[in-house]
Amino acid sequence: MSKPDPCLPETTDPLAETLHMLRLTGTLYCRGVLTAPWAIAIPRLEGVMTFMVVTSGACWLQLEGLEPRLLQQGSLALIPHGTPHVLSSAPGLAGVPLFDLPVEKVSERYEIVTHGGGGELTRTMYGVVRFDDVAAEHLLELLPDIIGIDAWDDQTGGWLQSTLRFIANEAASLKPGGETVITRLSDVVVIQAIRSWLETSPAADTGWLKALRDPQIGKALALMHRRPGEDWSVESLADSVGMSRSAFAARFGGLVGQSPLKYLTGWRMRVARSRLIDTADPLSAISLDLGYQSEAAFCRAFKRVFGVPPGSVRRAEPGRASPIYSAPQAAE
């Protein structure tokens, strides 16, 4: 029998339990001091999320394929899929490529860029972040192209706006240790923006997210998430949530879009990939912890899911603690 994941608190809310797993790693933040006219073109950044907070002034955000969006002081824009975009002092300006801008490096995770023509001042906080967990892969697929929280449309009871103001004050003065405060608070803001979308968007009540909210299917998902190496069967999962085998299989497939055991295999393989990338644990230990009696069976299952053997993943991605990308530092 596998050991429960120590990072997962057992709760009666599978969605909250899943959100608990969201962990940001490889973060990089940049304070922008931008004077009109200015425009910066950010290319597609694979495997990361980007976000911007306007701490003073205003700017325009143009996502590929969408209408320009005005971001005023106190506004937050989260771009979950690394979509190319242009940030500018006015719509329609041609952006300077991101990696052509010089930056002042304050620390490994924080930097400052000063750019523009000397006119009206806008200050921003721009972040590039990655979620380092299995649940995020499912969640990110469901997020929209952009999550926006406007300065005067805060659905969080003012908590988020208070945090954004705190970040703005720290960014303006940058006292000793200020970059640490900013980066940690920004991590929280990203999670809170996603939570806000989950609580307010009709699209958040579909598919896998709706399954997590279902009293019985959500409980079954939580059991698989907590104990992926358990010798689960459709029967044992159905018994655990008080359903018949046939009713459970039908409802699970209807909500999640795949059978319980196929979902379990996919979850196990994502957990395995995370351990291969982040740890030096031997294949034999990983396969045993995930319920495979032989390393060969585990390797076959891994290759069916990802198309490559587990050893190649470990060689290709020696650790997620490395920088987010190898190009010049992110800036805005």
32 and 181 together in one domain: yes
8, part of any domain: no
- As a 3-state breakdown, the chain gives helix, strand, coil percent values, each rounded to 5, of 45, 20, 35
168 and 226 together in one domain: no
pLDDT at 109: 76
pLDDT at 200: 81
219, part of any domain: yes
19 and 115 together in one domain: yes
306 vs 294: CA distance, rounded Å: 19
325, part of any domain: no
In which domain, by residue range, is 239 found? 207-316
Task: Single out the residue in 202, 233, 250 at which a domain terminates.
Answer: 202
pLDDT at 185: 75
Task: Single out the residue in 136, 169, 202 at which a domain terminates.
Answer: 202
Phi and psi angles of residue 325, each rounded to the nearest 5 degrees, phi first: -150, 160
323, part of any domain: no
pLDDT at 262: 95
237 and 161 together in one domain: no
Q: Is 322 left (phi over 0), alpha (psi -120 to 50) or beta?
A: beta
257 and 124 together in one domain: no
pLDDT at 38: 97
pLDDT at 26: 59
For the chain, how many structural domains are there in total? 2
Task: Single out the residue in 167, 202, 237 at which a domain terminates.
Answer: 202
Percentage of the residues of the chain whose pLDDT score is greater than 70: 80
248, part of any domain: yes
pLDDT digits (tens, 9 = 90+) for 130-180: 776 666 677 788 889 999 887 655 555 566 667 777 766 776 666 677 667
Contacts of 262 (CB under 8 A, 6+ apart): none
23, part of any domain: yes
166 vs 192: CA distance, rounded Å: 15
262 vs 134: CA distance, rounded Å: 16
Q: What is the DSSP string of 166-187?
A: HHHHHHHH--TTHHHHHHHHHH
pLDDT at 158: 65
CATH of the domain at 295: 1.10.10.60
54 and 189 together in one domain: yes
Q: Are 133 and 274 in contact (CB under 8 A)?
A: yes
For the chain, which ranges sit under pLDDT 70?
1-12, 19-26, 132-136, 151-161, 167-168, 171-175, 178-179, 183, 315-332
50 and 186 together in one domain: yes
98 and 181 together in one domain: yes
Q: Indicate the pairing of strand 24-35 with strand 121-131.
A: antiparallel
CATH of the domain at 85: 2.60.120.280
184 and 47 together in one domain: yes
pLDDT at 134: 67
193 and 235 together in one domain: no
86, part of any domain: yes
C-alpha distance from residue 318 to each of 19, 47, 314 (Å) = 26, 16, 6
C-alpha distance from residue 44 to each of 7, 86, 157 (Å) = 32, 11, 33
Contacts of 160 (CB under 8 A, 6+ apart): 76, 149, 154, 189, 192, 193, 196
174 and 247 together in one domain: no
259 and 309 together in one domain: yes
Residue 40: strand pairing partners: 87, 96
326, part of any domain: no
